[in-house]
Amino acid sequence: MTNAQQRIEAIFEQVIKRNPGEPEFHQAVREVIDTLAPVLEKHPSYAEQKIIERICEPERQIIFRVPWQDDNGEVHINRGFRVGFNSALGPYKGGLRFHPSVMLGTIKFLAFEQTFKNALTGLPIGSGKGGSDFDPKGKSDSEVMRFCQSFMTELYRHIGELTDVPAGDMGVGAREIGYLFGQYKRITNRYESGILTGKSPSWGGALVRKEATGYGAVFFAEEMLKIKGRDLEGAKCLVSGSGNVAIYAMEKLQSLGAKVVACSDSAGFIYDKTGIDLNTVKQVKEVERQRIKNYVNEHPDAEYHENDNIWDIPCDLALPCATQNELDENSARTLINNGCMAVSEGANMPCTPEAVRLFLDSDVAYGPGKAANAGGVATSALEMQQNASRDSWSFEHTEKRLKEIMTNIHNDCYNTAEEFGYKGNYMVGANIASFRRVAEAMLAFGVI
């Protein structure tokens, strides 16, 4: 082991000791810092100034009570979180997740990932994440509204255009952002468009933000395929999830000539070998907020599978767009054996470390989430630009900017990996390129 590797091992031990019971946070940290030894060797000041140690410690962590009443008047208590992880490159920026599995460690893993993702965009945004263990499933609109109002009644004092700018993530879409913004406006007596992104374009939101994460993950896949001399025309695709990211990944795949044959939700997946009908998926998931299995009511020839694995279906391209650790070692092996060309992570940390290792050792091009799904937060930063200048851009212009940003991220990752002797390893490229950017700013600011 080199000195740099020993140092990284010691840092990781400390991270585990100081953050007990947070396995997802440990996993996210390990995946990044394990690739940083060559950077420490090249830049001794990063070690002297303890940049990695500082980058692994969130700048601030806020936890608060969120009481609300359901439609029957019963009182419920949830827990709210907002973690500001790193503000070296700009105000804290990152989504809010409402899901019953949310714990502090979940938010810390997501905020940590966000540090590197946001740096890759090249835009002036630091990193944060928040959310709650509230489960929006099965709740009425008015229950969701009362929850959001209660959540914002505490959150409002911690956010601001120049401080911290939340957006959506799992369980938080345009409906929730609307209720959150309404409560902020009411409490503060100020119409501050720049305090949240993912707003509806009818009142200060940016066109393309809704589509951006899914579209971006497809643009990233396209760039990886280009390097291999391949393209999306006729490619058979699997997309897990059927939420915001999955739906718009499928939309872009289809418009570029690929054929999406399966998508899922937390209960099971649908397989439609004639190609998924996206209008039906949108109707079931976006409008009716129902289960994906209802798809087969409209398409009786499609199959619904409750206990099988979506990754067992042979494909050319896989886009995990649901949740963390949804694609394990066995699934990775199956994808590789089935001749899959590329994996582009629309979700955050969807592949387990063992799955990632297999991809990196194979011919599959593997696009890690912090690069492949950065289109969402990048377009949030474009929304901030539009809000700051009281302007709004056309769909075409914004999508063009998104595509340029994704191409730049791809090239940055590819070239950085090559510079450090890891040609084709987008994980190493993404980690090193983003770490250097954050580290340089942190060095400039001194010990803060």
Residue 67 neighbours by CB distance under 10 Å: 12
Give the footprint of ligand 2IT on residues 378-397 (CB under 6 A): 380
Specify the residue, 169 or 272, whose C-beta has the smaller distance to ligand NDP.
169
Q: Considering 108, 129, 199, 259, which one is annotated as catalytic?
A: 129
The residue count for binding ligand 2IT (CB under 6 A) is: 12
Question: CB under 6 A: which stretch of 349-357, 373-381, 393-401, 413-421 binds ligand 2IT?
Answer: 373-381
Q: What's the closest the beta carbon of residue 118 comes to ligand 2IT, in angstroms?
A: 8
- Rounded CA gap, 221 and 407, in Å? 10
Query: In angstroms, what CA-CA distances link 191 with 67, 167, 209?
Result: 25, 17, 20
CA dihedral 147, 152, 153, 154 (to 10 degrees): 110
Q: How many angstroms separate the CA atoms of 117 and 445, rounded?
A: 21
What are the b/e assignments for 23-37, b being 16+ CB within 10 Å?
A: ebbbbbbebbbbbbb
> Taking a C-beta distance cutoff of 8 angstroms, is the pair 309, 327 a contact?
no
Answer yes or no whether residue 167 interacts with ligand 2IT by CB under 6 A. yes
Q: Could you give the string, one character per residue 154-193, with x where binding to ligand NDP holds by CB under 6 A and - elsewhere? A: --------------xxxx----------------------
Residue type, 369: G
Residue at 404: amino acid letter: E
- Per the listing, tokens 């340029």 go with 404
Query: Residue from 80, 90, 94, 320 that binds ligand 2IT (CB under 6 A)?
Result: 94
Instruction: Report how far residue 309's alpha carbon sits from residue 190's, in angstroms, rounded to the nearest whole number.
Output: 49
Among 89, 208, 319, 377, interactor with ligand 2IT by CB under 6 A: 377
Question: In the set 376, 420, 430, 435, which binds ligand 2IT (CB under 6 A)?
Answer: 376
Does 105 sit near ligand NDP (CB under 6 A)? no
DSSP three-state, residue 143:
helix
241 binds, among ligand 2IT, ligand NDP, none (CB under 5 to 8 A by kind): ligand NDP
Contact 245, 277 (CB under 8 A): no
Which residues 349-378 are close enough to bind ligand NDP by CB under 6 A? 373, 376
Contacts of ligand 2IT in 333-372 (CB under 6 A): 348
Pick one of 51, 102, 245, 315: the residue that binds ligand NDP (CB under 6 A).
Answer: 245
Q: Is 129 a catalytic residue?
A: yes
183, 200, 203, 392 from 144: Cα distances, Å:
13, 17, 20, 29
Please report whether residue 180 would count as binding ligand 2IT according to CB under 6 A.
no
Name which of residues 299 to 338 contact ligand NDP (CB under 6 A): 321-323, 326
Helix (H, G, I), strand (E, B) or coil at 71: coil
- Nearest distance, CB of residue 364 and ligand NDP, angstroms: 20
Fill in the per-residue mask, 201 to 220: x = in contact with ligand NDP (CB under 6 A), - = not in contact.
------------x-------
Please, where are the H alpha helices in 34-173?
37-42, 44-48, 51-55, 104-121, 141-155
263-282 residues near ligand NDP, rule: CB under 6 A: 264-267
Tell me whether residue 4 or residue 110 sits nearer to ligand NDP (CB atom): 110
Task: Look at residue 234 and give its three-state secondary structure.
Answer: coil
| Residue 115 binding partner per list ligand NDP, ligand 2IT, none, with a CB distance cut-off of 5 to 8 Å that depends on partner kind | none
Stretch that binds ligand 2IT, among 54-62, 89-97, 268-276, 278-286 (CB under 6 A): 89-97
Of 181, 144, 148, 179, which Cα lies nearest the Cα of 70?
A: 144
Q: Select from 22, 24, 31, 169 the one that contacts ligand 2IT (CB under 6 A).
A: 169
DSSP string, 363-427: S-EEE-HHHHTTHHHHHHHHHHHHHHTT----HHHHHHHHHHHHHHHHHHHHHHHHHTT-TT-HH
Q: Give the nearer residue to ligand NDP in terms of CB position, either 174 or 443.
A: 174
Binding site residues, ligand NDP, CB under 6 A: 168-171, 213, 240-246, 264-267, 321-323, 326, 346-348, 373, 376
Binding site residues, ligand 2IT, CB under 6 A: 93-95, 114, 117, 167, 169, 197, 348, 376-377, 380
User: Which of the residues are catalytic?
Assistant: 129
